[in-house]
Amino acid sequence: MSEIQSIKQRFGIIGFSPRLDRAIDVARQVAATDITVLITGESGTGKEVFPKIIHQLSARKHGPYIAVNCGAIPEGTIDSELFGHEKGAFTGAHDSRKGYFEVVNGGTIFLDEVAELPLLTQVRLLRVLESGEFIRVGSSKVQKTDVRVVAATNVNLQEAISSGRFREDLYYRLNTVPIQVPPLRERKDDIVLLFRKFSSDFAERYRMPPLQLTSDAEDFLMRQRWSGNIRQLKNLAEQISVIESNRTINADILLKYMPAEFENRLPMVMNPAASRSSDLNEREILYKILFDMRRDITDLKKIIGKMVETGQVSNSFEEEHAQLLQKLYEKTDLPQVYNEDRGIKISEPDMPEEVEAYEEAAHVEVEESLSIHEKEKDLIIRALQKYNGRRKKAAEELGISERTLYRKIKEYDIG
- Residue 297 or 352, more confident: 297
CB 199 within 8 A of CB 239: no
Mean pLDDT of 76-104: 92
Phi then psi for residue 180, to 5 deg, are: -100, 120
Shared domain check, 190 and 178: no
- Classified as helix, coil or strand, 212 is strand
Report the alpha-carbon distance of residue 16 to residue 284 in Å, rounded.
48
Shared domain check, 332 and 358: yes
pLDDT over threshold 80, residue 298: no
Question: What is the pTM for the complete model shown?
Answer: 0.63
Mean pLDDT of 46-73: 96
Report the alpha-carbon distance of residue 287 to residue 305 in Å, rounded.
27
pLDDT over threshold 80, residue 270: no
Shared domain check, 330 and 318: yes
Shared domain check, 213 and 89: no
Residues 138-193: pLDDT tens digits? 999 999 999 999 999 999 999 999 999 999 999 999 999 999 999 999 999 999 99
Mean pLDDT of 4-21: 95
Report the alpha-carbon distance of residue 86 to residue 257 in Å, rounded.
51
Q: Which helix (H) or strand (E) holds 239?
A: helix 229-243
Report the alpha-carbon distance of residue 301 to residue 409 in Å, rounded.
34
Residues 316-335: pLDDT tens digits? 555 655 565 565 555 544 44
Lowest pLDDT segment from 161-170, 202-211, 257-266, 389-398: 257-266
Please give the mean pLDDT across all residues of the chain.
82
CATH number, domain of 13, equals 3.40.50.300
Report the alpha-carbon distance of residue 181 to residue 263 in Å, rounded.
29
Confidence of residue 337 (pLDDT cuts 50, 70, 90): very low
Q: Highest mean pLDDT: which of 171-175, 335-339, 385-389, 410-414?
A: 171-175
Our CA angle for 345, 351, 353, nearest 5°, is: 150
In this structure, are strands 133-135 and 142-144 parallel, antiparallel, or unpaired? Answer: antiparallel
**Beta bridge partners of residue 178, listed in sequence order:** 38
Query: 45: which residues sit within 8 A by CB, 6+ positions away?
Result: 181, 182, 183, 184, 229, 230
Our CA angle for 266, 267, 268, nearest 5°, is: 110
Report the alpha-carbon distance of residue 251 to residue 157 in Å, rounded.
38
Shared domain check, 30 and 95: yes
Shared domain check, 195 and 311: no
Identify the CA nearest to 265 among candidates 251, 284, 250, 252: 284
Q: Per the structure, how many domains does the chain have?
A: 3
Q: SS3 letters for 45-62?
A: CCCCHHHHHHHHCCCCCC
Domain residue limits at 89 = 3-182
Shared domain check, 129 and 55: yes
Q: Which of 118, 148, 182 is the last residue of a domain?
A: 182
CB 34 within 8 A of CB 145: no
Shared domain check, 351 and 304: yes
Shared domain check, 148 and 42: yes
Shared domain check, 169 and 22: yes
Shared domain check, 54 and 153: yes
Please indicate, yes or no, if residue 221 is contained in any of the structural domains.
yes
Query: For residue 372, what pLDDT is reported?
Result: 72
